[in-house]
Amino acid sequence: MAAEQAPLIVLTGPTGIGKSALALALAERFGGEILVADSRQVYRELDIGTAKPTPAERARVPHHLLDLVPPDAPFSVADYQAAAEAALADVARRGRLPFLVGGTLHYIQAVVDRLALPRVPPQPALRTELEALARREGPAALVERLRRLDPEAAARIDPHNVRRLIRALEVIAATGQPFSVVGRRRGPARPALHLALTAPRAELYARIDARVHAMLAAGWLEEVARLLARYDPALPSLSGIGYRELAQVVRGELALAEAVPLICHRTHAFARRQYTWARRDPRLEWFAIGPGLEERVATRVAQYLAERGGARAWTS
C-alpha cells in the first residue's frame, strides 16, 4: 500500500504528558513503528534533556527520525518533512503501522497536511540581525515585523516561538512571497486518526516537574557541559528550554537552585502554548490520561483500522 493511502496514527499532546510511553505500548500491540515528531530529538548528542527514547525502548519498537543531524547542522521543517515521508514510505512498504508521535505540531502538520514548504537555505546575516532584535526587544518585535509583511502568518505562528518567527521572515526575504502562501498544502491531507492526550493542569505541571528533576538526576547538566565544550551555545539546537538555562549554570551565570524552578515554570508555559495551538485542530480526538488510558485509546485505534483495512489484522 502506498504511504499516502496507508493508515496513520497521530498522537500528540503537551510535553511530559506520557505520549511516548503510550505510543510504545500501542505500537507493540498493533505491530507498529514510531515516527518521532520532536524538533529537538532530531539532533544527535541531545539525549537526556530531550527525553529521547532509550536504547531499550528502541529495541522494543523501531523508532524513526531521531538523531538525524549534529547539533551544529541547519535543520528545517522541510528537512523533517522529507525525512518523514521517506520513513513513512519505508514503513508502509513493509506493511507496518506508522505512529507519528510528538509535541512539535508544525512537524506533524507538515507531514499530515502535506505542506508545500520552501527549500530556503539559512541566511546567517539576517538570522543574526533578527536574533539580536529578539534579545533586545523580545519576540513581540519579530511578530510586529512579520505582521507588516504577512498578517496571516503572524496570526498563525506561536508569538513566543522565536525560531519559527525568524524562519518565516527569512523565507519572505528569500522568496519575496508571504510565508503563509509558500507553506500551503500541496495536495489533499493524508488520511489519519488524530489523537491527543490531556490532563488537569496541576497534574500535568507535577509530571513536568518530576521529569525535570529525573533528567537532572540522569546527568542533564553534565550533558549540557559536554555540549558547550564542543558547540556554540547560540546554536538553535541549544536554544530549547532547559538547555539555555543549564548553559547559564555551566558558565556560572545562574545557580542551579535558581535554574530548576525557572526551567519548570517555562516548561509549564510551553505546555500551555501547545494546548492553545493543538485545540485549533478540530480533527484531534482528546483522551484524558489516567486509569484505562491504553485500553481506551487502543479501542479507538482498532476501530479506525477496522474502518480502513476491513478484515486485516493489525497485530504484531
pLDDT at residue 311 greater than cutoff 70: no
CA 70 to chain centre: 17
pLDDT at 3: 60
Category of 296 on φ-ψ map: left (φ > 0), alpha (ψ -120 to 50) or beta? alpha
Helix, strand, coil share (%) of the chain residues, nearest 5: 55, 10, 35
Q: Which helix (H) or strand (E) holds 228?
A: helix 220-228
Judged against a pLDDT cut of 70, whether residue 249 lies above it is answered with yes
Q: Cell numbers at residue 288, please?
A: 484524558
Q: Tens digit of pLDDT for each residue in 117-145?
A: 877 777 888 988 998 898 899 889 999 99
Average pLDDT of the segment spanning 205-233: 97
Domain ranges of the chain: 9-117+184-309, 124-182
Q: What are phi and psi of 304, to 5 degrees?
A: -60, -45
Q: What is the pLDDT of residue 4?
A: 66
**To 10 degrees, the CA torsion angle through 221, 226, 228, 232?**
-130
Number of C-beta neighbours around residue 304 at 10 A: 19
Report pLDDT digits (tens) over 139-190.
899 999 999 999 998 988 888 888 889 988 998 998 888 888 776 666 788 9
Q: Which CATH architecture has domain 9-117+184-309?
A: 3-Layer(aba) Sandwich (3.40)
Q: What is the mean pLDDT of residues 203-231?
A: 98
Highest mean pLDDT among 59-68, 70-79, 233-242: 59-68
pLDDT band at 94 (very low <50, low <70, confident <90, very high): very high
CA distance 152 to 146: 9
What's the one-letter identity of residue 9?
Answer: I
Mean pLDDT taken over the chain: 92
pLDDT (tens digit per residue) in 19-55: 999 999 999 999 999 999 999 999 999 999 999 999 9
Q: Which pLDDT tens digit goes with each residue over 225-248?
A: 999 999 999 898 998 999 999 999
Overall average pLDDT of the 275-290 stretch: 95
Please check the confidence at residue 316 and state whether its pLDDT lies above 50.
Answer: no
| 316 three-class SS | coil
Q: Out of 181-185, 217-221, 311-315, give the one with best mean pLDDT.
A: 217-221
Task: Please state whether beta strands 32-36 and 97-101 pair in parallel, antiparallel, or not at all (unpaired).
Answer: parallel
Angle (CA) 294-54-67 rounded to 5° is: 110
What's the pLDDT at 181? 78
Q: Which bin fits 305, alpha (ψ -120 to 50), beta or left (φ > 0)?
A: alpha
Residue 256: its pLDDT value, please?
Answer: 98
The predicted structure's pLDDT at residue 121: 78
Determine contact, residues 140/51, Cβ cutoff 8 Å.
no
Domain at 124-182, CATH class: mainly alpha
Rounded CA-CA distance 167/104 in Å is 15
Question: Does 9-117+184-309 match 124-182 in CATH topology?
Answer: no
Percent over 90 (pLDDT), the chain: 75
- Cβ distance 244 to 50 under 8 Å? no
Strand pairing of 193-198 and 9-12?
Answer: parallel
The x, y and z cell numbers of residue 312, run together, are: 486485516
